[in-house]
Amino acid sequence: MKFALVFPGQGSQVVGMGRSLAESYPSARAVFEEVDAALGQNLSRLMFEGPAEELTLTANAQPALMAASLAVLRVLEQDRGLDLAEHVQCVAGHSLGEYSALAAAGTLTITDAAKLLRIRGEAMQRAVAPGAGAMAALIGAEPAQAAEIAAEARQGAVCDVANDNGGGQVVLSGDAAAVERAVAIAQGRGIKRAVMLNVSAPFHCRLMEPAAEAMRQALAAVRIAAPLVPVYANVTAAPVTSPEAIREALVAQVTGTVRWRECVAAMAGAGVTRFLELGAGKVLTGLAKRIAPGATAAAIGGPDEVAAFSAA
């Protein structure tokens, strides 16, 4: 039985992630050492020991989450006999996790993925002045409802649908005042919960255009290979295969909606019945179970979970 590999996005980071895996497997340590060398920073120490406020910085969290995910994959491949082409039907990642998915599929090297994510994180942080942007989660909202609320809240400002995560969870992003208006409107429309999120910038909205341009330039200088297995892109919820299409999807993703619900539904529609989330956290595991009720999902982040996967 083939399965899909999925890779988490920002917010899943936690101090200690990857540490037990690195202590147990030289193949995992090699991934962390490669990322450290690529960035000229002891990022692995920050991942293992903190402090949390430094790990949470966008420029650190993004490559750190990729490193944690790829370390798990390398252990499964080198120590547990996983063959990507033979055992995996497709891959996808949420936001920055798309870079992890592309590295998993052999499209990007780990070194290039780490450098690109550092550029991406720094560019996203620079794109909007602190406090000028905001994000909010609408819990219990359908995508069409969320889009209507965002449109009503704009009033000449930016308020876009950033994430359609599935399971009745939609995230809005944009100018702080417009997002705050959207929360108030949602509360008056009977949405189950509408809450402002504690984020450092308004990701996946039109305010991120300077960051998209930075990624356009960075991606133009990187070699991109054809993926070994299909990679479902956030902005199209469909596989991307050619290097140029991959570049375009990654640039569009900076300002576009992460269509995660549609990505999971499309993979399930293509025959995927099992989703494995590699790296930190279990957010995508829970979403997969809600989006594709007939499928199974599990998270693999540490030695115990690696052992359980091997036994299964």
Convert the pLDDT of each residue in 178-197 to its tens digit.
Answer: 999 999 999 999 899 999 99
- The catalytic site residues sit at 95, 204
pLDDT for the residue 312? 75
Q: Which residue has the tokens 């994000």?
A: 135
Q: What is the DSSP letter of 174?
A: E
What is the C-alpha to C-alpha distance for residues 202 and 136, in angstroms, rounded to an integer?
Answer: 9
CA atoms within 13 A on the CB side of 312: 15
pLDDT for the residue 88? 97
Q: What angle do CA 159, 160, 165 make, to 5 degrees?
A: 135
Do 170 and 141 touch, CB atoms closer than 8 A?
A: yes
Q: What is the mean pLDDT of the chain?
A: 96
pLDDT for the residue 310? 83
Q: What is the DSSP letter of 213?
A: H
pLDDT for the residue 38? 98
Q: Tens digits of per-residue pLDDT, 127-142?
A: 999 999 999 999 999 9
Q: Tens digits of per-residue pLDDT, 271-288?
A: 999 999 999 999 999 999
Do 185 and 149 touch, CB atoms closer than 8 A?
A: yes
What is the C-alpha to C-alpha distance for residues 192 and 78, in angstroms, rounded to an integer?
Answer: 45
110 burial (CB, 10 Å; 0-12 / 13-18 / 19+) is buried
Structure tokens at 223: 């070699």
The one-letter code for the residue type at 255 is: T
Question: Is residue 211 classed as helix, strand or coil in its secondary structure?
Answer: helix
Q: Which residue has the tokens 């550092």?
A: 118
Do 135 and 162 touch, CB atoms closer than 8 A?
A: yes
Structure tokens at 249: 């999807």
What is the C-alpha to C-alpha distance for residues 152 and 204, in angstroms, rounded to an integer?
Answer: 19
Domains, the chain, in order of start with CATH, read 3-127+207-311 (3.40.366.10), 133-199 (3.30.70.250)
Residue stretches of the chain with pLDDT short of 50: none
